[in-house]
Amino acid sequence: MPWQNNEDGKKKNPWGANGGSSGGDGPKTPWGGGNKPADFDDFIRRSQEKLRGLGSGSGGGGNRGGGGAPALPNLPWGLIAGGAILAVIAFTSAYQVGAGERAVITRFGQFSSVQGPGFHFKLPAPIDQVEKVKFEDIRTMDIGTGEGDAENLMLTGDQNIIDIAYSVRWRIKNAEQFVFELKEQEQTIQEVAESAMRAEIGRSSLNAAIGPQRAQIAEQVRERMQELLDSYRAGVMVQGVDIKQADPPAAVDEAFKDVSAAQQDAQQFMNQARAYAQQIRARATGEAAAFDAVYTQYRLAPEVTRKRMYLETMESVLSKVDKTVVEAGNVQTYLPLPEVRRRQQANATPPAEPARPGARP
């Protein structure tokens, strides 16, 4: 900006009037000189006009005598804003629901509908909101299987303590109830499972809980869990409960194992005794049936049956004994055939082979 002279021939200060002369008796400042106050409001006003001129593409009032800043292009800001709004609406209005999922639609925070798998449209956000849940997945929750030596102790009906670990398998059966009726779904399911298990263990004895009634207890726990969750409108289906561990506390575990082994041995001996008794009973039943059959024949022909029974009995008694049968009144020369047979067998034994000459003994 060129300097201009006053009427008296002195140079004029561009920042203010009557200031900036070398002959002034006051300190020099950027806004004025001498002892007169600077026109600060006028300086701010001119600066604002200059900035507005740069934004509009003109040189502004303070850009005299020099090259101005390059003017910004005039863009269609209305079209750009409209396109951005349309893009946001399109992006938030379409959604995809995968296989095995359900989409819960809320309108201004209130439930609107449930959509299945596929491509769907809704009102743009924040009017409609979508929450997707895994509808068909079967989830497993392990309870009582903590890290380290942690125990899950429960009191049985006969005032004993048991360390139990089990798992719960469940899935969603109503997406609306699952999203809106429960605040913390998994924690609620776990607490319901623990409550149902403690109730069933409290009605069972220790031997039943660690022995043959484990499957029955697990089924009762599943039914009780389903009843409680249905009363809460939780929208959950309990698929099953599996008891993985049911043992006494670690301090007395060895003693209980010895007792269990003794009970198993006793049960094994009882099973063997029952099997032997069944064999004896079956044999006696067969002999009684045979006797009844013989008695029936004896009543029809007593003499013949008596003689046949006598001969069969003697045959069984004398079958392995050397015997000679002599009939009274008709003695004949006896030929000892068994003795002759034994001698023939003894003579048929080959003699030992003689030693060869020169062979070492």
Q: Please give the full DSSP string across 21-71, using - where no structure is assigned.
A: -TT-SS--BTTB-TTSPP-HHHHHHHHHHHHHHHHHTS--TT-TTSPPPPP
Here the tokens at position 278 are: 């069944």
pLDDT in tens, the chain (361 residues): 444 555 555 555 554 444 444 444 444 444 444 444 456 677 777 776 766 665 554 444 444 444 444 554 555 777 777 777 777 777 777 777 877 788 888 888 777 778 878 787 777 777 878 888 888 788 999 988 655 456 788 888 888 888 899 999 999 988 888 888 888 889 999 999 999 999 999 998 888 888 778 889 999 999 999 999 999 998 999 999 999 888 888 777 788 778 878 988 999 999 999 999 999 999 999 999 988 888 888 888 888 888 888 888 888 887 777 766 666 666 555 566 667 777 777 777 665 555 555 555 4
CA angle 67, 68, 73 (to 5 degrees): 135
The structure's pTM equals 0.48
Q: Are 218 and 193 a contacting pair, CB within 8 Å?
A: no
pLDDT score for 36: 45
pLDDT score for 349: 63
* Sequence ranges of the domains in the chain: 1-61, 79-134, 139-248, 256-302
pLDDT in tens, 288-310: 998 888 888 888 888 888 888 88
pLDDT score for 72: 47
pLDDT score for 222: 94
Q: Which of 148, 95, 99 is closest to 125 using CA atoms?
A: 95
pLDDT score for 1: 44
The CATH architecture to which 139-248 belongs is 2-Layer Sandwich (3.30)
Q: DSSP character for 129?
A: E
User: What is the residue type of 228?
Assistant: L
